[in-house]
Amino acid sequence: MKTEMLDAVESKSLKKKIPHFEIGDIVDVHCLIKEGDKERKQVFTGTVIARKGRGINETFTVRRIVNNEGVERIFPLHSPNVLDIRPVRSGKARRAKLYFLRERTGKAVKLAHRHSGHTISK
Protein backbone atom coordinates (compact mmCIF):
# COMPACT_ATOMS: atom_id res chain seq x y z
CA MET A 1 0.00 0.00 0.00
CA LYS A 2 2.79 2.35 0.95
CA THR A 3 4.90 1.65 -2.12
CA GLU A 4 1.79 1.76 -4.26
CA MET A 5 1.15 5.36 -3.27
CA LEU A 6 4.78 6.34 -3.63
CA ASP A 7 4.90 4.72 -7.06
CA ALA A 8 1.81 6.66 -8.10
CA VAL A 9 3.61 9.93 -7.32
CA GLU A 10 6.90 8.83 -8.84
CA SER A 11 5.38 7.43 -12.02
CA LYS A 12 4.37 10.90 -13.21
CA SER A 13 8.03 11.84 -13.41
CA LEU A 14 9.10 8.66 -15.18
CA LYS A 15 9.59 8.54 -18.92
CA LYS A 16 7.07 6.44 -20.78
CA LYS A 17 9.55 5.01 -23.22
CA ILE A 18 13.23 4.42 -22.62
CA PRO A 19 15.34 3.57 -25.68
CA HIS A 20 16.87 0.13 -25.44
CA PHE A 21 20.62 0.18 -24.87
CA GLU A 22 23.04 -2.24 -23.25
CA ILE A 23 26.21 -2.14 -21.19
CA GLY A 24 29.17 -1.79 -23.55
CA ASP A 25 27.23 0.11 -26.18
CA ILE A 26 28.60 3.31 -27.61
CA VAL A 27 25.74 5.79 -27.25
CA ASP A 28 24.93 9.34 -28.27
CA VAL A 29 23.30 11.08 -25.32
CA HIS A 30 21.38 14.15 -26.37
CA CYS A 31 21.07 16.47 -23.44
CA LEU A 32 19.51 19.86 -22.94
CA ILE A 33 21.80 22.55 -21.56
CA LYS A 34 20.23 25.67 -20.07
CA GLU A 35 22.34 28.83 -19.92
CA GLY A 36 20.25 31.62 -18.49
CA ASP A 37 17.30 31.89 -20.85
CA LYS A 38 19.00 30.10 -23.70
CA GLU A 39 18.63 26.41 -24.33
CA ARG A 40 20.82 24.28 -26.52
CA LYS A 41 21.34 20.64 -27.24
CA GLN A 42 24.61 18.87 -26.57
CA VAL A 43 25.58 15.38 -27.61
CA PHE A 44 27.85 13.31 -25.39
CA THR A 45 29.21 10.19 -27.05
CA GLY A 46 30.85 7.36 -25.17
CA THR A 47 30.68 3.81 -23.83
CA VAL A 48 28.01 2.84 -21.32
CA ILE A 49 29.98 1.34 -18.44
CA ALA A 50 27.31 1.08 -15.75
CA ARG A 51 23.61 1.29 -15.16
CA LYS A 52 22.33 1.37 -11.63
CA GLY A 53 19.42 2.37 -9.41
CA ARG A 54 15.73 1.65 -9.69
CA GLY A 55 12.73 3.73 -10.65
CA ILE A 56 13.31 7.45 -10.59
CA ASN A 57 16.82 6.97 -9.19
CA GLU A 58 18.05 4.97 -12.16
CA THR A 59 21.24 6.35 -13.70
CA PHE A 60 23.75 5.30 -16.32
CA THR A 61 27.43 6.15 -16.68
CA VAL A 62 28.99 7.05 -20.02
CA ARG A 63 32.78 7.09 -20.43
CA ARG A 64 34.82 8.59 -23.21
CA ILE A 65 38.40 9.72 -23.78
CA VAL A 66 38.93 13.45 -24.40
CA ASN A 67 42.49 14.68 -25.04
CA ASN A 68 43.95 11.52 -23.53
CA GLU A 69 41.92 12.09 -20.38
CA GLY A 70 39.08 9.81 -19.36
CA VAL A 71 35.77 11.65 -18.88
CA GLU A 72 32.74 10.06 -17.26
CA ARG A 73 29.27 11.50 -17.03
CA ILE A 74 26.48 10.06 -14.95
CA PHE A 75 23.04 10.72 -16.43
CA PRO A 76 19.75 10.28 -14.58
CA LEU A 77 17.80 8.04 -16.92
CA HIS A 78 14.47 9.78 -16.34
CA SER A 79 15.69 13.38 -16.32
CA PRO A 80 13.77 15.61 -18.73
CA ASN A 81 17.13 17.13 -19.66
CA VAL A 82 18.24 13.83 -21.17
CA LEU A 83 16.36 14.12 -24.44
CA ASP A 84 17.46 11.01 -26.25
CA ILE A 85 19.82 8.06 -25.96
CA ARG A 86 20.90 6.53 -29.27
CA PRO A 87 23.04 3.40 -29.31
CA VAL A 88 25.35 3.62 -32.32
CA ARG A 89 27.62 0.60 -31.88
CA SER A 90 27.31 -2.46 -29.76
CA GLY A 91 30.28 -3.69 -27.75
CA LYS A 92 30.95 -7.14 -26.34
CA ALA A 93 30.68 -7.01 -22.56
CA ARG A 94 30.59 -9.99 -20.23
CA ARG A 95 29.85 -8.11 -17.04
CA ALA A 96 27.34 -5.52 -15.85
CA LYS A 97 29.89 -2.91 -14.73
CA LEU A 98 32.81 -2.12 -17.02
CA TYR A 99 34.92 -0.29 -14.45
CA PHE A 100 38.01 -2.17 -15.68
CA LEU A 101 38.01 0.22 -18.68
CA ARG A 102 39.27 2.94 -16.33
CA GLU A 103 42.63 1.16 -16.10
CA ARG A 104 42.99 0.93 -19.83
CA THR A 105 44.44 3.43 -22.28
CA GLY A 106 44.84 3.70 -26.03
CA LYS A 107 43.36 1.07 -28.26
CA ALA A 108 42.54 -1.19 -25.32
CA VAL A 109 39.52 0.90 -24.32
CA LYS A 110 37.68 -0.30 -27.40
CA LEU A 111 35.41 -3.25 -26.85
CA ALA A 112 35.06 -5.96 -29.45
CA HIS A 113 32.20 -5.24 -31.79
CA ARG A 114 29.12 -7.29 -31.24
CA HIS A 115 26.52 -7.58 -33.98
CA SER A 116 23.28 -6.56 -32.41
CA GLY A 117 19.97 -5.46 -33.84
CA HIS A 118 19.27 -2.58 -31.49
CA THR A 119 22.00 -0.18 -32.65
CA ILE A 120 21.55 2.35 -35.40
CA SER A 121 24.30 2.79 -37.96
CA LYS A 122 25.50 6.31 -38.57
Partner 1 sequence: MAMLLGKKVGMTQVYDELGKLVPVTVIQAGPCVVMQVKTAETDGYNAVQVGFDEVKPLRRKNPQIGHAQKADTTAKKFVKEMRLPDDAEQQHKVGDSITVSVFAENEFVDVIGTSKGKGFAGVMKRHGFSGFPASHGTERKHRAPGSISSFASDAGHGGGPKRGKKMAGHMGNRRVTTKNHKLVAIDEEKNLLVVKGPVPGPAGGYCIVRSAKKAGVEQKA
Task: Identify the helix (H) or strand (E) that includes residue 64.
Answer: strand 59-66
Burial 69-79 (b: 16+ CB within 10 A, else e): eeeeeebebbe
- Output 51 or 78, the one with its CB closest to partner 1: 78
CB of 98 to partner 1, least distance (A): 26
**CA separation for the pair 108, 110 (Å, rounded):** 5
| Binding interface with partner 1 (CB under 8 A) | 2, 5-6, 8-10, 12-13, 32, 34, 56-57, 76, 78-81
CB of 7 to partner 1, least distance (A): 9
- Output 54 or 95, the one with its CB closest to partner 1: 54
